[in-house]
Amino acid sequence: MNQIDVKRSSVVLAPDSTHVLARPFSLVGDKRSIKIAARVMALPEPDVHSLLEALRAEFGDRQLAIDDFLRRRFEDVSPYLLNGQKLSEDRKLLLGGYFTHEYSFEAAALFNPSMVPHPDQSNLSPGSLRFILSLRATAEGHISSIAFRSGVLDADSNVTMDAPSRYSLEPEQLPNTTFEKPLFERKLQELGLMGDFNREVLNGLPPLFTMLDLRSSVSRTEQQPAAGESKTSKDIAKETLVLAQSNYEVQFSPESNLSERVLFPVTPSQSNGIEDARFVLFHNEDGTSTYYATYTAYDGRMILPQFIESSDFLRFKFNTLNGPAVENKGMALFPRRIKGLYAMLGRQDAENIYVMFSDHLHFWHSMQLILEPRFPWEFVQLGNCGSPIETEAGWLVISHGVGPMRKYCVGAFLLDLDDPTKVLGRLPKPLIQPNADERDGYVPNVVYSCGSLVHERTLVIPYGISDHATTFATVPLDQVLAAMV
């Protein structure tokens, strides 16, 4: 293999336990929550005021707009109060505080990054590029969420990171997310839920409907017998609502700093984590661009590939992916259509690399094997390390291979631009493998990336270090292409 000069950056992003989210603190059972609420209600008003002031003094410099969060938590727990009780504003906020806790969402690890151009490229030096880095943040309970950082590549592809904010926050979930009836029906069909029950549910809905509309129609239909269905009305209703809950939109405040924004699991399918988001800047045929990301939703038992869409990293739309080709981890979308079709890489059998084509981003039905383990460092399995990168030589795919002692290395291969089922070349040796300083971490002997980019003929690879921290490597693009066999 021809010589490849890999330059490791001195920039390391380590997990920081001081980055904390205000999160709902839920207790098991309504009885205990009612008791706690009753104790707070019994406090004299001066004590309520003193306790709230102490809470603000202790946590106000750790949380943005803490009163707003406490007020929302009060509204969530207000059913535990007796009807007709009059409460001061201070008591409402204090009650909210008893049902809130701080969660250090990146205390254990900050790793598996993907890298895309920032939508704002203003006020930069010639030859520089501002970028957004998405990261998998992991903490207590091994729950993963998506965190963001920003930085700049100069004309020589040196990395400078912007200092992250002291604060962290979650987005507001938009209550009026609308669903297109034909698209929702197709998703129900893919899940085997399109029987008499849901035909009746859909008959009661307008062409564009909200979650509230769906709940009302499901409730009405649930009163009727599920004739001819293999499941009970209750089971079908539950699965239908879970599908809708998994297709939702969230919005961050425009005043928020990018590094403050955290996408934390909120749906049943994500309950144990949002893992390994692979962001890509997708170029639409009308000249516009959209950021998409595939990610793995994990509920503690099952993994499920899902999808994120955003135009500005302020508003995010979460969608389910459907079809028999949607399984296992590591799906990565090509950055444009190929011959009118969307294309995506996958590793459906947990060992080999496949390519898929579809006329709709949400539905994937067939796949074609394109690459199998060939070299000793990848005998255990192959996978992609993010979306393909378009070059004049072909689609450059950064990959990973797993060898003896479950050692993960980063490699690369090349696909034909017009027909990505054709493999034009691959690296016979790893591009990056864990060195002495990178072997130890949450999961030892792993280097792994979820998305790279090319800047000024330099391949810039952000990568996770043993599932703990994140760093960067730069490689001359021409050397990578020349080393393909």
Query: Does residue 364 register a pLDDT over 90?
Result: yes
Widest pairwise Cα distance in the chain: 78
How many angstroms separate the CA atoms of 214 and 206, rounded? Answer: 10
- The CATH T-level fold of domain 7-16+105-172+247-482 is Tachylectin-2; Chain A (2.115.10)
Given pLDDT bands bounded at 50, 70 and 90, which one contains residue 2?
Answer: confident
Buried b (16+ CB within 10 A) or exposed e, 380-399: bbbbbbbbbbebebbbbbbb
Look at 267 and 394; give whichever has higher pLDDT.
394
Query: Does residue 117 register a pLDDT over 70?
Result: yes
Given pLDDT bands bounded at 50, 70 and 90, which one contains residue 229?
Answer: low
Q: In a 3-state reduction of DSSP, which class is residue 84?
A: coil
Which tokens belong to 372? 């199998």
Which distant-in-sequence residues (6+ apart) come within 8 Å of 469 by Cβ? 12, 13, 14, 15, 109, 110, 111, 441
Tell me the pLDDT tens digit for each residue of 322-341. Answer: 999 998 888 999 999 999 99
Domain ranges of the chain: 7-16+105-172+247-482, 21-103, 178-245
Q: Where would I find the beta strands (DSSP E) of 73-158?
A: 100-103, 109-117, 129-139, 143-153
- C-alpha count within 13 angstroms, C-beta hemisphere, residue 197: 27
- What's the Rg (C-alpha) of the chain? 24
Q: In a 3-state reduction of DSSP, which class is residue 89?
A: helix
What is the percent of the chain where pLDDT is above 70? 98
Torsion angle of alpha carbons 480, 482, 483, 485, nearest 10°?
Answer: 120
pLDDT of residue 28: 66
